[in-house]
A and B are shown apart, each in its own frame.
Chain A
Amino acid sequence: MQVAELIEKDLILIGATAIEDKLQEGVPDCIETLSRAGIKIWVLTGDKMETAINIAYACNLLNNEMKQFIISSETDGIREVEERGDQVEIARFIKEEVKKQLKKCLDEAQQYFYSVSGPKLALIIDGKCLMYALDPSLRIMLLNLSLNCSSVVCCRVSPLQKAQVTSLVKKGARKITLSIGDGANDVSMIQAAHIGVGISGLEGMQAVMASDFAIAQFRFLKDLLLVHGRWSYIRLCKVVTYFFYKNLTFTLTQFWFTFYTGFSGQRFYDDWFQSLYNVIFTALPVIIVGLFDKDVGSSLSKRYPELYKEGIKNMFFKWRVVAIWAFFAVYQSLVFYYFVTVSSSTSQGSSGKMFGLWDVSTMAFTCVVVTVNLRLLMICNSITRWHYISVGGSIVAWFLFIFLYSGIMTPYDRQENIFWVIYVLMSTFYFYITLLLVPVAALLGDFLYLGVQRWFFPYDYQIVQEIHKDEADDSGRTDLLGIDNQLTPDEARSYALSQLPRELSKHTGFAFDSPGYESFFASQLGVYAPQKAWDVARRASMRSKPKPKPNKIN
């Protein structure tokens, strides 16, 4: 300090520079949407506490209504001890302080927890305290406290601490964690979480290279999670449960046959039918569903972020869901087996001739393939051209295969069990009536269940589908590529400005400047202060829902 005082004398002020480091556009909106979706958001930053709190206010993570718990190492007590310089004593004292603070906050939080409509809680902790709070003895308290809070802001954290906090939540709370960052100091955090997302951009590509997913801007996280993540979950559940169902149906139909063969193990179906069932006759439709199924469109997914909670609660892959599929698989297999065998126990057609084992089994197999493919169409929420092609194509492929397979006699040593079977079958009226009746009887139960479920116990996404049933879907592309307007640019701008939310809070995300103050003083002096461009942009990226709180400043 003294040397500085000696040197810095008689200097001439030339100018001042300022660096604008503003938030990316769309960040507050994105964060608010994600918290509506049931995702808890924590901020881990290397900035100092004031900046971090400002940013959190700008992002809608903190607001004045929340109860904030601040655990800081800038208190007087700690500073006193630090001045004394004894490292061991500093460490012990800070640890004691942190423990006391945590306990106090935790007790207060418990109180709020038991009251139904208390304010939301927020925790703000800085890096030095975090170092002691992550200690095994205090870790549990920290975890309990932070899980009760709806936002957590950690400032002055080092990259290692970022990773430690992420692991704490991942292993301690056993929740799924996602970390998103854009710099090299975020790499350890990205790798520690379940899902790491890197933002490619100004700070280079290190985060991107370490991450599982890379996006270009922070606001695309909304799309990634609410649209593609949600669709991916639904598609996975559908594909897996459908796969089990179709194989269960197919196998159980054979299973009932074993009771009638003296338990000798005679196969019901021909070998080739069994091998190709999963490869040709029922494979492609389920892949198409896994690629293209959407329960609601992308714009609706973002409009109703609460739909994401269905995934958090794992509503589509519970044991109950699997049990219902299994029940219908059993029901359908009974329909297939008994309808086909009982109706073929007497002669077929006016020629009086009787069917053999392979005729009956080919008939049953045809019914299985047709029914299982039609069942897939029943679980689709959106049916594209490819669905029709694949379902129709699979059924046609089965018929082509059986025409070919039963039409040729090969010189190889195989038992010609299936020779001419399908032509024999198709020469009887029995075949056509059975092919009409059996799939319908089998799907009757499923259709009834779907109707009742949708009517009386609808899922959230089904209600959203009903609300927006008659709208054309813009498929989300338009908001990425620009919407064209019918207004002139000036009209559009003034209309847009008038739609912006009014300035309500002191915190704007910038350390020293606030348009709230400026417009206050301007109105006092009777001077017109025009809107600042950066302020307009900032307000535009906030959610445009008017807050009920009265404006204290203006």
Chain B
Amino acid sequence: MCRRIFSTCGVAAVRIVSGKMVLSFYLFTQQSLPACKPVLTPGWVIAIFLFMGVIFIPVGLVTLRASHCVIIHSMVVEIVDRYDIDCVPEPSRMDKVSYIQDDSIPKNCSRFMKVHKYMKAPIYIYYQLDNYYQNHRRYVKSRSDKQLLDGQKYHDTSSCQPVESNNNRPIVPCGLIAWSLFNDTFEFIREGAELKVNRKNIAWKSDRGHKFGKNVYPFNFQNGTLIGGGKLNPEIPLSDQEDLIVWMRTSALPSFRKLYGRIEKDLDVDDVVVVNLMNNYNTYSFGGKKKLVLSTSSWLGGKNDFLGHACVFVGCSSLTLAIIFMLLHVKYRRPYGDMSFLPWNRKSFSG
């Protein structure tokens, strides 16, 4: 398809004597740079589609294997349980908002999750929120990264309005994102024995190490009249408050999940896991949903077939197009490179 084309001229010999730079400059300014002139012939079209099919179908299949592996112990298994409606007791179902805002009512709730396939450790625990716009413009900017690193020494926290200060004392960490910290808690019991949940190392290392200060402690946090979410232990520095770190990495979509912790044991088929959760967080005011997700993970990640399916789809459609083009090439062969196909050479052409 491509040919390297060089021009030949007797004068070039003279120029080369006076320096290769002069020749290159001459080629540049006289529009005669050596160029590759790709001409897309039918052969190339078919070849490229075949090539793409051959590349993408295996890649797609490999990617799908990550979540649908035939080998039992490597499968990605996911259990999802929506609990926000069921965890509100019957009498309060009419007015969930006042139920959730009433501190005197105990909010514990028990759920049962049945394991339908073998789940290999580590099993990741996520909480999923729907209809929660963490990507809202005013929400995303309502934080102060400098304050997260420097603490009260940093004073210019105007971006955190309206959650900047309370009773004339600064709030650390300030901003709506921290203020709305998710505070449902989960405990897992299987066959009477508690499953230990590892809550360390759930945030990205770069966040823990560089964005949240090791000497910054929560101060005057969640002390106002309007409680938005969870409270923070003022004795633990921010770099160790992994719940907060995970929460503050705002999500892209209104339906998202965030990592809560890890279970380091395997779960067998037909195991029933009892979840004792505290239903503290208010998603009822805006019609949000809360779900608990238990998921294993593979080298590619959680249970997401999209990439695999997309690769296979691209590969298959390329192959289909290659076959269609081959058939068309055989049937409707346009005389290729034929002078008589030029419009001014065709008989019916009239100027």
| Chain A positions 229-267 with a Cβ under 8 Å from a chain B Cβ | 231, 257, 260-262, 264-267
The winner among B31, B133, B252, B318 for most chain A CB atoms within 10 A is: B252
Contact of A354 (CB < 8 Å), options: B35, B52, B259: B259
Residues B250 and A356 in contact, CB atoms below 8 Å apart = yes
Residues B38 and A424 in contact, CB atoms below 8 Å apart = no
Residues A441 and B314 in contact, CB atoms below 8 Å apart = yes
A265 to B211, CA, bound (A): 26
Residues B301 and A428 in contact, CB atoms below 8 Å apart = yes
| Chain A positions 279-329 with a Cβ under 8 Å from a chain B Cβ | 292, 294, 298, 304, 306
Given contact pairs A353-B202, A354-B126, a sample of 10 additional A-B residue pairs in the complex whose CB atoms are under 8 Å apart:
A347-B126, A351-B297, A352-B262, A355-B251, A357-B250, A384-B33, A415-B145, A440-B314, A454-B40, A477-B32
Task: Tell me if A444 counts as interface (CB < 8 A to partner B).
Answer: yes
Residues A455 and B7 in contact, CB atoms below 8 Å apart = no
Residues B258 and A354 in contact, CB atoms below 8 Å apart = yes
What 0/1 pattern do residues 239 to 274 of B give for CB contact below 8 A with A?
Answer: 000000010011111111111001000000000000
A383 to B179, CA, bound (A): 56
Residues of B within 8 A of A (CB): 2-3, 5-11, 30-42, 45, 48, 52, 56, 59, 63, 122, 124, 126, 133-138, 140-141, 143, 145-146, 156, 159, 202-204, 206-207, 210-211, 246, 249-259, 262, 295, 297-304, 306-307, 310-311, 314, 317-318, 321, 325, 328, 332, 334, 336-339, 341-344, 350
Residues A347 and B210 in contact, CB atoms below 8 Å apart = no
The winner among B30, B250, B251 for most chain A CB atoms within 10 A is: B251
Q: Give the residue name and chain of the B residue nearest to A382 (CB).
A: B35
Q: List 16 A-B contacts (CB under 8 A).
A: A262-B133, A267-B137, A343-B310, A345-B255, A357-B134, A384-B36, A433-B307, A433-B311, A434-B307, A437-B310, A440-B52, A458-B341, A465-B39, A467-B337, A467-B338, A473-B5
A429 to B299, CA, bound (A): 7
The winner among B40, B141, B203, B256 for most chain A CB atoms within 10 A is: B40
Residues A349 and B299 in contact, CB atoms below 8 Å apart = yes
The winner among B146, B202, B300, B311 for most chain A CB atoms within 10 A is: B300
The 4 closest A-B pairs by CB, nearest first: A346-B302, A420-B206, A356-B249, A352-B124
Residues B37 and A350 in contact, CB atoms below 8 Å apart = no
Contact of B136 (CB < 8 Å), options: A264, A355, A360: A264
Question: Nearest-CB distance from A225 to chain B (Å)?
Answer: 15
Task: Tell me if A536 counts as interface (CB < 8 A to partner B).
Answer: no
| Chain A positions 401-428 with a Cβ under 8 Å from a chain B Cβ | 409, 413, 415-416, 419-420, 423-424, 428
A350 to B307, CA, bound (A): 16
- How many contacts A-B (CB < 8 Å)? 242
Residues A355 and B252 in contact, CB atoms below 8 Å apart = yes
Residues B252 and A448 in contact, CB atoms below 8 Å apart = no
Contacts A353-B202, A357-B252: A306 and B342 contacting too (C-beta < 8 A)? yes
Residues B138 and A484 in contact, CB atoms below 8 Å apart = no
Task: Tell me if A21 counts as interface (CB < 8 A to partner B).
Answer: no
Residues of A close to B146: CB separation below 8 A: 413
Residues of B close to A353: CB separation below 8 A: 202-204, 259
| Chain A positions 441-476 with a Cβ under 8 Å from a chain B Cβ | 441, 444, 447-448, 450-451, 454-456, 458, 460, 463-467, 469-470, 472-476
A298 to B299, CA, bound (A): 55
Q: Give the residue name and chain of the B residue nearest to A420 (CB).
A: B206
Residues of B close to A355: CB separation below 8 A: 251-252
Question: Nearest-CB distance from B131 to chain A (Å)?
Answer: 10
Residues of B close to A343: CB separation below 8 A: 304, 306-307, 310
Residues of B close to A448: CB separation below 8 A: 321
Task: Tell me if A341 counts as interface (CB < 8 A to partner B).
Answer: yes
Question: Nearest-CB distance from A300 to chain B (Å)?
Answer: 11
Question: Nearest-CB distance from B237 to chain A (Å)?
Answer: 18
Residues of A within 8 A of B (CB): 116, 231, 257, 260-262, 264-267, 292, 294, 298, 304, 306, 339, 341-357, 359-361, 380-386, 409, 413, 415-416, 419-420, 423-424, 428-430, 433-434, 436-437, 440-441, 444, 447-448, 450-451, 454-456, 458, 460, 463-467, 469-470, 472-478, 481-482, 484
Contacts A467-B337, A474-B8: A386 and B33 contacting too (C-beta < 8 A)? yes
Residues B7 and A419 in contact, CB atoms below 8 Å apart = no
Residues of B close to A477: CB separation below 8 A: 7, 9, 11, 30, 32
Residues B35 and A346 in contact, CB atoms below 8 Å apart = no
A447 to B48, CA, bound (A): 10
Contacts A385-B34, A436-B59: A352 and B297 contacting too (C-beta < 8 A)? yes
Q: Give the residue name and chain of the B residue nearest to A339 (CB).
A: B310
Residues A451 and B40 in contact, CB atoms below 8 Å apart = yes
Contacts A260-B254, A264-B138, A460-B343: A419 and B42 contacting too (C-beta < 8 A)? no
Contact of A357 (CB < 8 Å), options: B124, B135, B257, B302: B135
Residues B344 and A306 in contact, CB atoms below 8 Å apart = yes
Residues of B close to A467: CB separation below 8 A: 337-339
Residues of A close to B307: CB separation below 8 A: 343, 430, 433-434, 437
A359 to B262, CA, bound (A): 23
Question: Nearest-CB distance from B348 to chain A (Å)?
Answer: 12
Residues of A close to B2: CB separation below 8 A: 383
Contacts A352-B122, A437-B56, A455-B45: A469 and B337 contacting too (C-beta < 8 A)? yes
Contact of B300 (CB < 8 Å), options: A345, A356, A429: A429
A102 to B133, CA, bound (A): 78
A519 to B252, CA, bound (A): 91
Contacts A382-B35, A419-B206, A455-B42: A430 and B301 contacting too (C-beta < 8 A)? yes
Residues A347 and B32 in contact, CB atoms below 8 Å apart = no
Contacts A433-B311, A460-B342: A341 and B39 contacting too (C-beta < 8 A)? no
Residues A354 and B10 in contact, CB atoms below 8 Å apart = no
Residues of B close to A350: CB separation below 8 A: 297-299, 301
The winner among A298, A347, A416, A420 for most chain B CB atoms within 10 A is: A347
A415 to B250, CA, bound (A): 13
Question: Nearest-CB distance from B342 to chain A (Å)?
Answer: 6
Residues B303 and A292 in contact, CB atoms below 8 Å apart = no
Q: Give the residue name and chain of the B residue nearest to A356 (CB).
A: B249
Residues of A close to B332: CB separation below 8 A: 456
Question: Nearest-CB distance from A98 to chain B (Å)?
Answer: 30
Q: Give the residue name and chain of the A residue nearest to B343 (CB).
A: A460
Q: Give the residue name and chain of the B residue nearest to A478 (CB).
A: B9
Residues of A close to B156: CB separation below 8 A: 413
Residues A475 and B7 in contact, CB atoms below 8 Å apart = yes
Residues A262 and B343 in contact, CB atoms below 8 Å apart = no
Question: Nearest-CB distance from A89 to chain B (Å)?
Answer: 45
Residues A292 and B301 in contact, CB atoms below 8 Å apart = no
Contacts A264-B136, A455-B45, A465-B37: A347 and B259 contacting too (C-beta < 8 A)? yes
Contact of A294 (CB < 8 Å), options: B8, B35, B325: B35
Question: Nearest-CB distance from A215 to chain B (Å)?
Answer: 16
Question: Nearest-CB distance from B327 to chain A (Å)?
Answer: 13
Contact of A348 (CB < 8 Å), options: B145, B211, B301, B328: B301
Residues of A close to B122: CB separation below 8 A: 352
Residues B210 and A420 in contact, CB atoms below 8 Å apart = yes
Q: Give the residue name and chain of the B residue nearest to A231 (CB).
A: B31
Residues of A close to B328: CB separation below 8 A: 455
Residues B36 and A383 in contact, CB atoms below 8 Å apart = yes
A344 to B304, CA, bound (A): 8
Residues of B close to A455: CB separation below 8 A: 42, 45, 328, 334
A265 to B336, CA, bound (A): 52
A381 to B37, CA, bound (A): 6
Question: Nearest-CB distance from B34 to chain A (Å)?
Answer: 7
Contacts A415-B145, A433-B311: A444 and B317 contacting too (C-beta < 8 A)? yes
Residues of A close to B337: CB separation below 8 A: 463, 466-467, 469
Contacts A294-B31, A382-B35, A383-B35: A260 and B7 contacting too (C-beta < 8 A)? no
A360 to B156, CA, bound (A): 29
Question: Nearest-CB distance from A332 to chain B (Å)?
Answer: 14
Residues of B close to A476: CB separation below 8 A: 32
Question: Nearest-CB distance from A343 to chain B (Å)?
Answer: 5
Residues B251 and A356 in contact, CB atoms below 8 Å apart = yes
